[in-house]
Structure 1
Amino acid sequence: MTPASSSVRDVLAANLRRERTRRGLSLSELSRLSKIGKATLSQLESATGNPTIETVFSLSRALEMPISDLLDTRRTDTVTVVRAADAEVLSGEGVDLRPLQRIETGGVIMELYDQQVRADSRQPSLGHAGTEHTVVQSGTLAVEVDGHRVELGAGDYVSFDASLPHCYAAPDGPVHSVLLLHYRSGAGEPQERHGAPH
């Protein structure tokens, strides 16, 4: 089991507080940008809240930063092994994500996740930073991006701009897939804002 000090809840709390302070945002401002209630944000920052996929992706979108900057999945070992039993699961409405690795190279950040879509469920997203790549390992995955729908089987791959509204669904039983998110250089830097994010 992962020590409490490195739990998703504790790591998100510390990173969220640090990032909000660094950008000079109040809880009210971050609440407006992320569409997450101020009380919920306060709980997340005090490590008493229960972070979900929807919450983390909303924060990623509002702060325009990689998800791994919020979850701090960086590892520095020469050989990295992530045991399924040791990786904390971040659950959402229809998907369970296990962060496996963050890779930084040539000004590009990549995040690798084990993704399981639960049977007869949907995981909608309003969009978030990065480009999303998914390879289906087993099952049939329905992917809808900005109104366009495709179905993928084992071995199939899809890629799209993750800032677009999208949804994963598993209409014929559970789906096991690998999710890779990659971000352009400069993701996560404070941006000058003129009104609400798109």
Structure 2
Amino acid sequence: MRAERERAGLSLSELARRAGLSKSTLSQLESGRGNPGVETVWSLATVLGVPFSALIDPPQPERALVRAGAGDPTRSDLADYTALVLSHSPPHVRRDLYRIDAEPGAVKVSVAHATGTVEHVVVITGRARAGTRDDPEDLSPGDYLRYPGDVEHLFEALEPGTSAVLVSQQR
């Protein structure tokens, strides 16, 4: 995170202000002592203009296999929702691939990401409501939806055991 902050030419104080975090929280995250929720990481990624995965994953080898149930997902602080980065952007590509697992209850509302971000979602199991906050769609297994990720958007599990594949693409 420090390298991305410095690349963006932001002080610790300025990044904290823009992301709506305290300077001490950001300092802890940069030193590897914090455990941020998905909302905090998205906020920082948006301010820095980088993909979500750039702040949480080391570079990946050319070939990768992620077994079902494997990995260390990032949990939402506000909903029963986890996002596991399956593949993050290689250099000069701005897209991340996630597996989403969610349960009915609180709606996972995401703030607008960087300008030009588009999200693609395919429901695998269960049913979900997803899309922009003012125009969501109800989705069943196999349904695909593309929507702007640079406006407030949501994902809501409508059935227990809902899972989806999400691609976040920055133009």
TM-score where L is the length of structure 2: 0.88
Tell me the equivalent position of 2:154.
167
**Superimposed CA distance per residue, residues 22-58 of structure 1 (whole angstroms, 9 cap, x where no aligned partner):** 2231221001211122221111112111121101110
Shift of 1:144: 4.3
CA shift in 2, pair 1:81/1:172, >3 Å: closer
Aligned partners of 2:160 and 2:58: how far apart in 1?
Answer: 29
Aligned partners of 1:180 and 1:30: how far apart in 2?
Answer: 26
Residue 96 (1) aligns with residue 110 (2): no
Residue 32 (1) aligns with residue 17 (2): yes
Residue 179 (1) aligns with residue 162 (2): no
Residue 82 (1) aligns with residue 66 (2): yes
Structure 1 segments unaligned to the other structure (5+ residues): 1-15, 185-198
Larger Rg: 1
**AA matched with 1:91:** R
Give percent identity, aligned residues only. Answer: 34
Shift of 1:156: 0.6
Tell me the equivalent position of 2:124.
137
Aligned partners of 1:108 and 1:38: how far apart in 2?
Answer: 30
Residue 63 (1) aligns with residue 48 (2): yes
Structure 2 segments unaligned to the other structure (5+ residues): none
CA shift in 2, pair 1:86/1:139, >3 Å: closer
Q: How many residues align?
A: 167
Asked if 1 retains the 8 angstrom alpha-carbon contact of 2:83 and 2:99, the reply is yes
Aligned partners of 1:97 and 1:153: how far apart in 2?
Answer: 19
Aligned partners of 2:89 and 2:65: how far apart in 1?
Answer: 14
1:3-42 matches, within 5 Å, as 16-42=1-27
**AA matched with 1:65:** V
Shift of 1:146: 3.9
